[in-house]
Structure 1
Amino acid sequence: MLRVGLTGGIGAGKSTVARRLAKLGAVVIDADQIAREVVAPGTPGLEAVISEFGSGIVAADGSLDRGALGTLVFGDDERRAALNAIIHPLVYQRRGELVAQAAADAVVVEDIPLLIENGLGPSYPLVIVVYATEATRIERLAARGMTVDEARSRIRAQASDDERRAAADVWLDNTGSRAPVVAELEELWQHRLVPFEANCRNRRPAARAQQPEIVDANPSWPDEAARLVARIATALGEGARRIDHIGSTAVPGLPAKDVIDLQVIVDDLGAAGRAAADLLEAGFVRMPDRWFDVARDGSEIDKAVACNADPGRAVNVHVRPAPSPVCRDTLLFRDWLRASPAEVTEYAALKRRLAAAEYALMDDYAREKTPWVNAALERAESWAERTGWRFGG
């Protein structure tokens, strides 16, 4: 099973996207629909809302008068928090029940309007955000009967576009006609969501090229890494001492393979194995067999590794026990490069030169870089001494 979070601002067309995903085969769970169900007449939810807000929010037929309730809570953070304290636990419980009822091979899309506002993005292995310009959204909301001022007020009470973009693994621009979005969804379904689910269910990593391809630095890499770090932190909780974006994609301006490397530091090797296995719920598959780092002195130091099940984003998660000196070296190397533009230029030239060769295994490419990296670490040690850099693992 794969759980996907779907969100978008009011008027962006999220419901249209949800319906299309349902036609493609997704199990869609609509949080708004659940929110209505849990306060239907005769439910404990409605009784709790009446107790908190009074009988004035009850319509003549005994149902919840949403307009009256909205008037009470809109623009009042304290009253809205009181309402959320009643509704959210009920919705969460019902969502969990519906997810549990889905088939083992389902792609479950959870349609949650306030996913970003409620900080739920890291709970999903993949988040889809539906976008439309503010002008388009106001036009759509006006067609539903809102005034321009009401529409603008509702839009601005929600998350900003920047906040949504930071949470989005998939950004769907639904400003124009439906045809481009429908085509994009079909591509997404066939080539990302369905394989992602199958990879998770079968505990296998997504296929990846074996020959290194070095690309120019992408300014989106840090934002992608931040999303992944939050996802891993949610999955592991206190089991992770710290989680960092490492490797070449963590160094601004450095060309690299388009693979996000992350380091998770845990207490010991046993914890590393457990953590790597626990990452399945975040969309990462623990790699089998023995994995190890080669320290600067040539010794082998065991670690656990998890890789992406998502075909749309290559990721390596290196789970290392705190006693490993590689934890420190990895962060020292990253921070030194960030502070050393001339070294970045030299390293970039080496990477491009080595990547031009053919390798039987990707590890062979990494092995070819090792002499330069080890020598660079000696220079990094001098830099650390001069600058007072310390490892806080």
Structure 2
Amino acid sequence: MGNIFKDKLFGLVVPLIAIGFGFLAGGVIMLLSGNNPIDGYVALMQGVFGEVYYFGETLQRMTPLIFSGLAVAFAFRTGLLNIGVEGQLIVGWFVSVFVGIVIEAPMIIHLPLAILAGALAGALWGFVPGILKAKFQVHEVIVTIMMNYIAMHVVNHFIRNFMLESGQRTAFINDSASLSSDFLTSITDFSRLHWGFLIAVAACFVMWFILWKTKKGFELRSVGYNKHASSYAGMNVNMNIILSMSVSGAFAGIGGAMVGLGTYNYANILPSFTNLGFDGIAVALLGSSTSIGIFLSAFLFGGLKEGANNMQSQAGVAPELVEIIIALIIFFVASSYLIRWIYSRLQSKKEGK
């Protein structure tokens, strides 16, 4: 019992240590580049909490990161590596916007339908690597990476040839399919915060409930732990692999819908990846693939990205430094075995004394 408690405590401590090391290394880089790290981090905090507008933008930025983190975590909890969250998010973004433009219906029907369309598009994009993994043992990492490129170029093709309205984007969606909120905008000084944030919070609970409170969730986790034992116990391993990748893709697709229906209200031609899906890998890793951990790490990453603008304007720190800090945090999380070794040595010395 004591060891279990220590393992859980360590699981909470490692991300905090990784964040601390990441910020410490970022401060050293600031010093080497001729910047004051105290001024830089003060500007960063002011860029998140200094004004209600910044805070609203931080919550808006973290909304798709929550969904991409949940998508990565759901697959990981079931023994799979979904590196295709970026592509699943892109197709979810496009399809939800398409439904938001071409269909006219009351909001009570139109908005859920557009979100569902994004979820189904993401699920389909996750279904393909799932069935290839289940039926032909094709590694899901290879397939999902390749499908990221397919998603981006297919979506760009449809926008460029069939839906281009002005510049590099589609028309705006109908108001009945929009997640925009006058109330949330007004209380955050006209930020882009929308109702999708509350949907993201609910999604955290949904993932936890599915995996830990349902029979199917137990099967999915069992297959992830040991396929052969699960098969011996009578579970349909192949079906669970396909279902896991599809559900993971659905989370990512809804994340794309949050961007298309909430943040922008349109889809645009992408010159490169959005990186929201790739950032989801970092969010899930830092959050230990738990719902509450993903929520908190998404807030951290959203705050870092929002505060980077203020660091540049107020302290003269290059915004690229934030990306370096994020990379360092992930590096230290990935090096948790080293932190575990140091922690165990310190504990041994303490007990010896």
Q: TM-score, normalised by structure 2?
A: 0.25
More helix by share: 2
Q: TM-score, normalised by structure 1?
A: 0.23
Larger radius of gyration: 1
Higher relative contact order (CA 8 A, sep 6+): 2
More strand by share: 1
